[in-house]
Amino acid sequence: MRAPGVAGILRAVALGLLVAFLIWPQRFAPLFAPLTQYGAPPIYDQGNLLALALAQLGTVCCAAVASTVVAVSLGILVTRPSGAEFLPLSRTLVNVGQTFPPVAVLAVAVPLVGFGLKPTLIALFAYGLLPIFENTLVGLKTCPPAVLEAASGMGMSARQRLMAVELPLAMPLILEGIRVSLVISVGTATIGSTVAAKGLGEVIIAGLLSNNNAFILQGALVTGLMAVLLYEALGGLERRFCGTVRIE
Amino acid sequence: MISIENLSKRYGATTVVDGVSMHIPRNSLTVIVGTSGSGKSTLLRMVNRLVEPTSGRVLLDGSDTRAEPAHLLRRRIGYAIQGHGLFPHRTVAENIATVPRLMGWDAARIAARVTELLEAFALDPNTFAGQFPHQLSGGQQQRVGVARALAAEPQLLLMDEPFGALDPIIRAKAQDDLLDIRRRFGTTIVLVTHDMDEAFRLGDHVAVMSCGRLLQYGPPAQLLTRPADPLVSRMTGLADRAIRLLSLSTAGEAALPGSVEGPEVPASATLRDVLSELMWRGVDAARVTEADGTARGHLTVAAILARGRP
């Protein structure tokens, strides 16, 4: 139906470069060599880049699943007549999650749960709630009233109406929220390395400590590319599964 | 079929529906008409309990509508609304299948019913079954909305301003379709509108509401000849009441025995249309014939005019 277009080709090239770099990083050594001084290694050599990238993605996905479950459930709860009074409270909680800097969350979480993956997950979880929650709210609140009235008028129970009508109609916006949340998380997850969670932050921190710009650039580029490609991939999924709702 | 007994709805200090009682017979087409804010939609929505009454009760075939959970009650009652309310993420066939699916019909029966309804509404199943609502015209969407309301073969169909969003030509077509559907499926219909012309055209009983009260409920002719309230005659229109009255009887009903020289008019035409035809042709009488061509009698201008008086 659609030709791949310039954007499609760019995406494919970016994906190809990312995968190639993660699998054969040493082949790219000549590119990064000009950024190093005094014969320092041009490619990160204290760990496997592919493993670090996958670890970071895994962390982000775990946190995103938890954020999604909590934010969507909360969004559903506060749009039901019985839960409407919890809306201001939920908004406040979710907003605090967003305004509290992840670094500060790490600082608070480490004494409570120790170093490693756990504090990072907590920080990413809290940071990712807001976009999903707000989009779920908007999605559920903007269902056309005539459609909801018809659903009830035909004899759907409140639960059937939610599952068969409201959630499918809100789905494009909910997915959009998840997408934004994921992209923010991929970037933010690098700070997890300050509390010993595995991830590409390690590469950046190593670069900062040894004054090796090549390391810093590698960590940042891989993280950035992962974020952009993830955003595009989710956008594609969204168009594919929610195409008909969008046109409306 | 439906007995409404002293039904009221109050929101705080505001009374929206005030002690309405009426009996709606089986197989009738009852139109509830009133200005906006008259409580007509609220009255309709209390029948299928989308709005719970503050006091009074509704009996459906003799049993109180509160005897079963509201959503189960609604599956037995068709409901069509202005702006159709079709599910945008479901195809036409899936939309129509909504209530049969809720009621657990098997797939073959659902498919057969969807095809039957699409054909009844002059929508080719091969073309339309797989389309999404946004691909249809306004008139087609409205027909799918009514088809969906009729899908589970309800005895009763409630319609809230179903033709409000249509342009006049499509609207007239939709009204004709509704009368056809009613003949075909024998459904009892209660329709809410603010349009008095629509009420007179469709209803064999008309209920006039104002400020939450039922002013008058009876056959359309009775509203014209014996208005129960000055407001009723204001709403039905004083200036053209004779013409309205003529539009309520058909040539077949008013035909006089015997035959005369003159143009032929169908027995199903309204007296208003016959009078217009006679004026246009400049003649005094017409022959009335049935659809199959047999003679039914004749009509004269004087006989028609006599029918326009109370």
What is the ipTM metric for this complex? 0.83
Question: Rounded to 5 degrees, what angle do the CA atoms B243, B245, B248 make?
Answer: 115
At B198-227, the pLDDT tens digits run: 999 899 999 999 999 999 999 999 998 899
Distance from CA of A156 to the nearest CA of B (A): 6
Instruction: Name every chain B residue with its beta carbon within 8 A of the beta carbon of A154.
Output: 74-75, 79, 98-99, 102, 148-149
Q: Could you tell me if residue A31 is inside a domain? A: no
Answer positive or negative: Cα dihedral of B192, B197, B198, B203.
Answer: positive
Q: Could you tell me if residue A26 is inside a domain? A: no
* Residue ranges covered by each domain of chain B: 2-239, 245-307
Instruction: Name every chain B residue with its beta carbon within 8 A of the beta carbon of A146.
Output: 81-85
Q: Could you tell me if residue A58 is inside a domain? A: yes
Residue B260: pLDDT band with limits 50, 70, 90 = confident
Question: What does pLDDT average to over chain B?
Answer: 91
Helix (H, G, I), strand (E, B) or coil at A26: helix
Nearest to B89 among A154, A160, A245 (CB): A245
Percent of chain B scoring above 70 in pLDDT: 100
Question: What does pLDDT average to over chain A?
Answer: 88
Rounded Cα gap, residues B127 and B131, in angstroms? 7
Residue B231 tokens, joined:
């407001």
Q: Residue A116 maps to which CATH number?
A: 1.10.3720.10
Q: Could you tell me if residue A42 is inside a domain? A: no
Q: Could you tell me if residue A166 is inside a domain? A: yes
Q: Could you tell me if residue A5 is inside a domain? A: no
Nearest to A248 among B75, B84, B88 (CB): B88
Report whether A189 contacts A124 (CB < 8 A): yes
Q: Could you tell me if residue A202 is inside a domain? A: yes
Q: Could you tell me if residue A12 is inside a domain? A: no
- Could you tell me which CATH class the domain B245-307 is placed in? alpha beta
How much is the pTM? Answer: 0.83
Percent of chain B scoring above 90 in pLDDT: 66
Residue A1: pLDDT band with limits 50, 70, 90 = very low
Q: Which residues pair with B298 in a beta bridge?
A: B256, B287
Contact partners, residue B308, CB within 8 Å, separation at least 6: B242, B243, B245, B246, B271
When scoring B75, B87, B148 by the number of chain A Cβ atoms within 10 A, the one with the most, hence best to mutate, is B87
Instruction: Name every chain A residue with its beta carbon within 8 A of the beta carbon of B149.
Output: 154
The residue segments making up the domain with residue A111 are: 48-247
Nearest to B71 among A146, A156, A244 (CB): A156
Tally the domains of chain A: 1
Q: Determine the pLDDT at residue A247.
A: 41
Q: Does domain B2-239 have CATH number 3.40.50.2000?
A: no
Half-sphere exposure of B63 (CA within 13 A, CB side): 4
φ, ψ at B20 (rounded to 5°): -90, 130
Question: Rounded to 5 degrees, what angle do the CA atoms A52, A35, A224 make?
Answer: 40
Nearest to B85 among A147, A160, A247 (CB): A147
Across B82-105, average pLDDT = 93
Please indicate whether, in this complex, the C-beta atoms of B50 and A248 are within 8 angstroms of each other.
no
Buried b (16+ CB within 10 A) or exposed e, B55-90: ebebebeeeebeeeeebebbbbbbbbbbbbbbbbbb
